[in-house]
Amino acid sequence: MADHWRPDTLAVQALHRMEEGDGGVIPGWRPATTFARRTQDYEMTAPGFVYGRADNTNVRLAEEIIAGMEGARACLLFPSGLSAIASLFRSLPAGSHVAVQDTGYFGTIKWLKDNARRLGLEVSFFATGDLAALRDALKPGETALVWIETPANPLWTVTDIAAAARLAHSARARLAVDATVMTPVLCQPLALGADLVFHSATKYLNGHSDVLAGALVTNAPETPLWQAAIAERHSSGPILGAFEAWLLVRGMRTVHLRVRQASASAQVLAERLSAHPAVEKVRYPGLADDPGHVVSAQQMQGGFGGMLSFEVPGGRESGAAAALRLVSRLRLIVPATSLGGVESLIEHRATVEGPHSDVPKGLLRLSVGAEAVEDLWADLAAALAG
Ligand SMILES: *Cc1c(COP(=O)(O)O)cnc(C)c1O
């Protein structure tokens, strides 16, 4: 029935699923960790429901909604984004070679640097967004997985997904895309040739900064890698909790509204920031002169997302001091890590990443939320004015 509905309709109505007993329009929270067998024949009461480490109605509904939005055949949910990433890499055969872009979400790169060797994985890092560097990093026949994130933290560097997929496939590797920032609202990477898509559902999919969750989706659930990921989750146990899945379904009912609002406001703020004399540089793929603009305009529909970064010049003080002073003058935008919630957040990445960070010292990362854009601009403009 739901096959022909558009992704926003699927998400808003949670696949039109309702409570069976009383017709409640909101499906309930199903916390059971185990399921009864029938006394007469010892068969399961409901086929497919044995034990909560693999089987939960709330988790399955959330997975079906995400798969529906991505045009995917399967989805697996994990209790955080990084546990999904770790599970995927742990599902590769030991000895596999993987090619990974050299910047991106800090936790992803750090996890690979700290753990890949111990898992018997060989990692080649390539320059983010650089297709020639990606091609050089591939070992045809040996590379199992290519990992990209687009637009990528912290400069929102864009990678051409279709071109990256062609390169990966020419080496018989699979392409995985961290599409957290694009969300399924703005891009469906599987339709562009990607084999796997990852979301930190903690961010836009849930959208309310009250659930940690990670999702993997694919169009090829029969492949050994996906089957290994299912087995890895089932045997090691990182499945999303039932209550978190219930909250995630609730959050996803408005993901299209929230993401369109965040994108529209980010576009306005990026344009005004780039025209402001106290701002040195703005990084946002929606700006016509951004290096990723043309590719983003082709592979994203309906906006360029809610994430932007801008740099303030140091002048007589350091860039870091200037950036932190700007943050100290904000009254509305909240200084905090993370992104994708309805509340706007700002972060000084260099402070958070520590002394070895390569992020420009004057760079502030802004997650644009759903507040009135003129209030956000007034807050930024007052802080920039000093
Ligand atoms: C947050 C995030 C992750 C990690 O997800 P968690 O839910 O925090 O574990 C990975 N990639 C991107 C782009 C993210 O924003």
Taken in order 164, 166, 168, 170, the sign of the CA dihedral is: negative
- Spacing, Cα 87 to ligand 1 middle (Å): 14
Q: Which residues line ligand 1 (CB under 6 A)?
A: 80-82, 105, 107-108, 149, 153, 178, 180-181, 200, 202-203, 212, 214, 339
| DSSP 8-state symbol, 81 | H
Reported as a single tens digit per residue, the pLDDT across 44-86 is 999 999 999 999 999 999 999 999 999 999 999 999 999 999 9
- Please identify, by atom number, the ligand 1 atom nearest to the C-alpha of residue 339: 15
Tell me how far apart the 2 most distant CA atoms of the chain are, in Å. Answer: 82
Residue bearing tokens 């872009």 = 101
Correct CATH for 255-385 of 3.40.50.1970, 3.40.50.720, 3.90.1150.10, 3.40.50.300: 3.90.1150.10
Ligand 1, atom 2: closest residue by C-alpha: 200
Ligand 1, atom 1: closest residue by C-alpha: 200
Confidence at residue 80, expressed as pLDDT on a 0 to 100 scale? 98
Reported as a single tens digit per residue, the pLDDT across 238-289 is 999 999 999 999 999 999 999 999 999 999 999 999 999 999 999 999 999 9
**How many CB atoms within 10 Å of residue 386?**
8
Mean pLDDT of all residues in 175-204:
98
| DSSP 8-state symbol, 40 | T
Any idea where the domains of the chain sit in the sequence? 7-252, 255-385
pLDDT for residue 193 is more than 70:
yes
Q: Sort 72 into a burial class: Cβ within 10 Å, 0-12 / 13-18 / 19+.
A: buried
- For 22, residues 6+ apart whose C-beta sits below 8 A from its C-beta are none
Residue bearing tokens 């995985």 = 176
Mean pLDDT of all residues in 300-311:
98
- Kindly indicate the confidence band of residue 2, based on its pLDDT and cuts at 50, 70 and 90: low
Q: Give the chain's count of helices (H) and strands (E).
A: 14, 12
- Kindly indicate the confidence band of residue 6, based on its pLDDT and cuts at 50, 70 and 90: very high
Mean pLDDT computed over every residue of the chain = 96
Reported as a single tens digit per residue, the pLDDT across 366-378 is 999 999 999 999 9
Reported as a single tens digit per residue, the pLDDT across 101-157 is 999 999 999 999 999 999 999 999 999 999 999 999 999 999 999 999 999 999 999
- Please identify, by atom number, the ligand 1 atom nearest to the C-alpha of residue 104: 13
pLDDT for residue 3 is more than 90:
no
Residue to substitute in 202, 209, 210, 244 for testing ligand 1 pocket (most ligand atoms within 8 angstroms of CB): 202
- Spacing, Cα 207 to ligand 1 middle (Å): 13
Residue bearing tokens 């067998």 = 37
- Please identify, by atom number, the ligand 1 atom nearest to the C-alpha of residue 214: 7
Query: Which amino acid makes up residue 148?
Result: I
Reported as a single tens digit per residue, the pLDDT across 84-101 is 999 999 999 999 999 999
- Spacing, Cα 240 to ligand 1 middle (Å): 15
- Kindly indicate the confidence band of residue 189, based on its pLDDT and cuts at 50, 70 and 90: very high
Residue bearing tokens 């807050």 = 379
Confidence at residue 275, expressed as pLDDT on a 0 to 100 scale? 98
- Kindly indicate the confidence band of residue 42, based on its pLDDT and cuts at 50, 70 and 90: very high
Q: Sort 349 into a burial class: Cβ within 10 Å, 0-12 / 13-18 / 19+.
A: buried
- Spacing, Cα 107 to ligand 1 middle (Å): 7
Q: Sort 156 into a burial class: Cβ within 10 Å, 0-12 / 13-18 / 19+.
A: buried
- Spacing, Cα 44 to ligand 1 middle (Å): 37
* Cross-strand partners of 34: 51
Residue to substitute in 108, 155, 187 for testing ligand 1 pocket (most ligand atoms within 8 angstroms of CB): 108
- Spacing, Cα 34 to ligand 1 middle (Å): 30
Quote the CA–CA distance of 295 and 285 in Å, as a whole number. Answer: 9
Q: What percent of the chain has pLDDT over 70?
A: 99
pLDDT for residue 315 is more than 80:
no
Ligand 1, atom 9: closest residue by C-alpha: 81
- Kindly indicate the confidence band of residue 316, based on its pLDDT and cuts at 50, 70 and 90: confident
Q: Taking the model in full, what pTM does it have?
A: 0.97
pLDDT for residue 13 is more than 60:
yes
Residue to substitute in 83, 105, 150, 155 for testing ligand 1 pocket (most ligand atoms within 8 angstroms of CB): 105
Ligand 1, atom 4: closest residue by C-alpha: 81
- For 30, residues 6+ apart whose C-beta sits below 8 A from its C-beta are 56, 57, 58, 242, 246
Q: Give the CA distances from residue 187 to residues 176, 177, 304, in Å, rounded to whole numbers and listed in that order.
A: 14, 11, 10
- For 324, residues 6+ apart whose C-beta sits below 8 A from its C-beta are 348, 351
Active site residues: 53, 105, 178, 203
Radius of gyration of the chain (CA): 21
Confidence at residue 300, expressed as pLDDT on a 0 to 100 scale? 98
Quote the CA–CA distance of 215 and 217 in Å, as a whole number. Answer: 7
pLDDT for residue 1 is more than 60:
no
> Which of 361, 151, 353, 149 lies closest to 263, judged by CA?
151
Residue to substitute in 180, 182, 307 for testing ligand 1 pocket (most ligand atoms within 8 angstroms of CB): 180
Architecture of domain 7-252: 3-Layer(aba) Sandwich (3.40)
Confidence at residue 321, expressed as pLDDT on a 0 to 100 scale? 94
